């Protein structure tokens, strides 16, 4: 075998944890917004607290995500140039525009929750925001996917994984906030079927019913991740090499925290709770839910971080 | 609320249409480069049969372009292959390929990276927001973010010299005359004649970027290390064979 040694310039990593934080926090904001609006439209005011928490979280998290993006920029004060010099073929141009729209819509939607007489307008604003939220969520995956030069990112399943991830993290953030609210305000979290009012039972509903949705979404995300992995492992030589390099550099962190703690353990814990409650009134398992949601959020951040950094290695 | 649903939707539509209309003119940094007869289309041929790896081009580039320590706009990749007594060394100078389909121009959110009609891809420091998206998008890894200006930087074929009718610094300094710069649209130019008379290759043709920096004598094995650094699967594209 002929050995080949190459002498090249140092390889630099330009996007760090701040880009991961932008994708992660923006994703939570978008997910929280979608859940708030859909919950409000489907269940009207039955579980209003869920929508209220989601409506407040949405603009805050999108703003925080955008803040980390600005921190990463060399010239954040020139951000307005993405509007004046709008490039129709650049995902970042579209992302900046739609994130700004998302913030405006999110703030309007949250504000309208303080106006009890403006339910129709609130729902209208909420519906207008849905496609915007989907674009922002999709953009978080699309931003990386279109880069042909980075085989780890340049796969279809990576966008789907990102899309699912923002729904899951948005859901997890709302659940976590509901669980952490003072007991009097989250009446009903302790036990389902305790005779509480519909409004006070919202958190219980979230935990009891959304748990199933959350577990389902996580299983689907696990499957899309598996397809992503397969497409890399059995894909082109580029893709395979990118996977090997990524594994060598960030494999332990990615597999233990990103996948293990962020996906496998939460699914296991929640399934365990579902099985244990079988045949009797289902309980909310507040501490378990807090643990699960924290694990999901930490895992999702590590997942994003590992993908962003490892993608630049090859 | 005094605002009806119809009024709200109408207002939203007008605002949305205005926003789209405002962004349409000049909304992309890509441009159609000159075709033969329209004007020059600049490119470069690197004749690897002549290159002996002196790195003079890298040094000239750094001096001409004020490139900071540890960064390069043009450099020479060196590869060693084989086993004694059949070992050999290959040199592959790399720089911006001034592609016909430049991904850096495509992704730049502020149109700081643009392509001129003559094919030269330029970088405007005043417009760059420092997002480094173009650095990520370049399949050849030839863009970098300058730690001093916090903007993306790249080779522009020494545009300030070319506009004065002077050759780029790396071409001017090459002892072996391995770098040939010129107008690809002019069939009588040295570069056109060289391309017409020799099999030439480009880096990573599978990327679909249509580079305008050509190589003569690019050894598949010598090229393999480049593929390992940036990619593994590409085979050098061939033109004029």
Nearest chain B residue to A76, by CA: B129
Q: Is residue A81 part of a domain?
A: yes
Burial class (CB in 10 A: 0-12, 13-18, 19+), B106: buried
Query: Is A275 an interface residue toward B (CB < 8 Å)?
Result: no
Domain residues for the domain of A164 are 17-311
- Count of beta carbons in the 10 Å neighbourhood of residue A188: 25
Residue B6 lies in a domain: no
First to last CA, chain A: 24
- Structure confidence at residue A282 as a pLDDT band (50, 70, 90): low
Q: In total, how many domains does chain A have?
A: 1
In a domain, B13, yes or no: no
| Cα B186 to Cα B42: distance, rounded to the nearest angstrom | 10
Question: For residue B20, is it within any domain?
Answer: no
pLDDT digits (tens, 9 = 90+) for A68-89: 999 999 999 998 898 889 999 9
What confidence score (pLDDT) does residue A69 get? 92
pLDDT of residue B18: 47
User: Strands, DSSP E only, in B95-226?
Assistant: 113-115, 121-123, 144-145, 152-153, 179-183, 200-202, 213-216
Percentage of chain A surpassing pLDDT 70?
87
Asked whether residue B17 is domain-assigned, the answer is: no
Q: Between chains, do B232 and A238 touch, taking CB under 8 Å as contact?
A: yes
Q: Please check whether residue A194 lies inside any domain of the structure.
A: yes
Total residue length of chain B: 241
Kindly state whether residue B119 falls inside one of the protein's structural domains. yes
Q: Which residues of chain A neighbour B137 with C-beta distances below 8 Å?
A: 147-149
Closest chain A C-alpha to B32 CA, distance in angstroms: 15
For residue B8, being part of any structural domain is answered with no
Q: Do B150 and A75 lie within an 8 Å CB cutoff?
A: yes
Q: What is the pTM of this model?
A: 0.85
- We report the CATH number of the domain holding residue A59 as 1.20.1630.10
Distance CA A206, CA A289 (A): 11
| Integer Cα distance of B120 and A68 in angstroms | 33
pLDDT(A258) > 90 = yes
Residues of chain B whose pLDDT is less than 50?
1-2, 18, 21-22, 225-241
What is residue A111's DSSP assignment?
A: H
> CB-based contacts of B127: which residues, under 8 Å, 6+ apart?
A78, A81, A85, B110, B111, B112
**DSSP code at position A283:** B
What tokens appear for B86 in the block? 């059949």
CB contacts < 8 A (A, B): 166
Structure tokens at B37: 């007869």
**B-interface mutation test, from A79, A124, A149, most B Cβ less than 10 A away:** A149
In a domain, A56, yes or no: yes
In a 3-state reduction of DSSP, which class is residue A21? helix
Complex ipTM tops 0.90: no
Beta bridge partners of B182: B43
DSSP state of B32: P
- Token pair belonging to A116: 């009890």
Q: How far is CA B28 from CA A84, A205, A231, A294, B108, in A?
A: 11, 49, 32, 42, 9
Hey, what are A82's tokens?
A: 């993405």
Q: How far apart are CA B27 and CA B21, in angstroms?
A: 10
Contact B108 A121 (CB under 8 A): no
Residue A10 lies in a domain: no
Closest CA to A153 of B223, B175, B133: B133
> Would you say residue B87 lies in a domain?
yes
Query: How many structural domains is chain B composed of?
Result: 1
Which residues, in sequence order, are bridge partners of residue B122? B114
**Is residue B30 in some structural domain?**
no
Best A22, A87, A248 member to test B by mutation, with max B CBs in 10 Å, is A87
User: Does A1 fall in a domain?
Assistant: no
Q: Which domain holds residue B120?
A: 42-239
A148 domain-assigned: yes
Question: Element (H or E) spanning B14, and its range?
Answer: helix B5-23
For residue range A132-143, list pLDDT tens digits in order.
Answer: 999 998 888 889
Q: Among all residues of chain A, which has the CA nearest to that of B25?
A: A86
Q: Is A146 in the B-facing interface, judged by CB distances under 8 Å?
A: yes
**CATH number of B143's domain:** 3.30.70.20
- Cβ burial of A115 (10 Å; 0-12, 13-18, 19+) is exposed
Chain B residues in contact with A121 by the CB 8 A cut-off are 1, 3, 5, 8
């Amino acid at each position: 075998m002929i050995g080949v040694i190459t002498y090249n310039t140092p390889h630099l990593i330009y996007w760090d944890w701040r880009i991961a934080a932008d994708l992660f926090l923006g994703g939570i904001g978008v997910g929280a917004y979608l859940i708030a609006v859909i919950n409000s439209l489907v269940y009207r005011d039955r579980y209003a607290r869920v929508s209220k928490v989601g409506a407040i979280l949405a603009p805050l998290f999108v703003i925080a995500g955008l803040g980390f993006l600005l921190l990463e920029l060399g010239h954040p004060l020139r951000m307005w140039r993405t509007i004046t010099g709008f490039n129709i073929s650049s995902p970042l141009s579209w992302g900046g525009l739609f994130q700004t729209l998302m913030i405006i819509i999110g703030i309007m939607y949250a504000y309208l929750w303080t106006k009890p007489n403006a339910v129709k307008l609130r729902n209208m604003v909420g519906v207008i925001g849905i496609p915007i939220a989907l674009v922002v969520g999709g953009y978080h995956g699309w931003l990386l996917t279109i880069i042909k030069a980075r085989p780890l990112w340049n796969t279809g399943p990576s966008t789907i994984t990102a899309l699912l991830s923002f729904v899951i993290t948005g859901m997890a953030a709302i659940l976590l906030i509901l669980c952490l609210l003072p007991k009097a305000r989250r009446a009903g979290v302790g036990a389902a079927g305790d005779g509480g009012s519909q409004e006070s039972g919202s958190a219980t509903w979230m935990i009891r019913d959304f748990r199933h949705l959350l577990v389902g979404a996580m299983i689907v995300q696990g499957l899309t991740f598996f397809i992503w992995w397969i497409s890399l492992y059995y894909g082109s030589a580029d893709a395979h090499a990118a996977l090997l390099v990524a594994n060598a550099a960030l494999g332990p962190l990615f597999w233990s925290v990103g996948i293990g703690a962020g996906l496998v353990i939460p699914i296991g814990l929640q399934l365990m709770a579902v099985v244990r409650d079988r045949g009797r009134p289902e309980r909310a398992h507040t501490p378990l839910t807090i643990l699960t949601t924290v694990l999901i959020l930490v895992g999702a951040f590590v997942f994003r971080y590992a993908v962003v950094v490892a993608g630049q290695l090859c | 609320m005094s605002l009806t649903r119809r009024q709200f939707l109408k207002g939203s539509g007008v605002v949305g249409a205005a926003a789209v209309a405002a962004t349409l003119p000049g909304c992309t940094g890509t441009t159609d480069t000159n075709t033969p007869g329209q004007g020059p289309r600049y490119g470069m041929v690197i004749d690897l049969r002549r290159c002996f790896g002196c790195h003079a081009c890298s040094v000239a580039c750094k001096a001409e372009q004020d490139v900071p320590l540890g960064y390069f706009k043009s450099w020479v990749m060196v590869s060693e292959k084989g086993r004694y007594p059949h070992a050999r060394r290959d040199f592959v100078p790399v720089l911006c390929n001034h592609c016909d389909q430049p991904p850096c121009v495509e992704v730049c959110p502020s149109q700081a990276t643009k392509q001129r009609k003559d094919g030269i891809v330029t970088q405007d420091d005043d417009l760059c927001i420092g997002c480094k998206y173009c650095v990520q998008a370049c399949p050849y890894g030839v863009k970098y973010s300058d730690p001093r200006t916090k903007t993306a930087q790249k080779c522009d074929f020494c545009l300030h010299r070319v506009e004065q009718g002077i050759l780029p610094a790396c071409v001017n300094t090459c002892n072996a005359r391995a770098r040939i710069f010129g107008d690809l649209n002019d069939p009588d130019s040295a570069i056109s004649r060289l391309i017409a008379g020799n099999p030439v290759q480009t880096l990573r043709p599978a990327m679909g970027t249509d580079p305008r920096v050509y190589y003569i004598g690019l050894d598949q094995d010598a090229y393999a290390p480049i593929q390992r650094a940036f990619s593994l699967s590409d085979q050098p594209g061939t033109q004029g064979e």
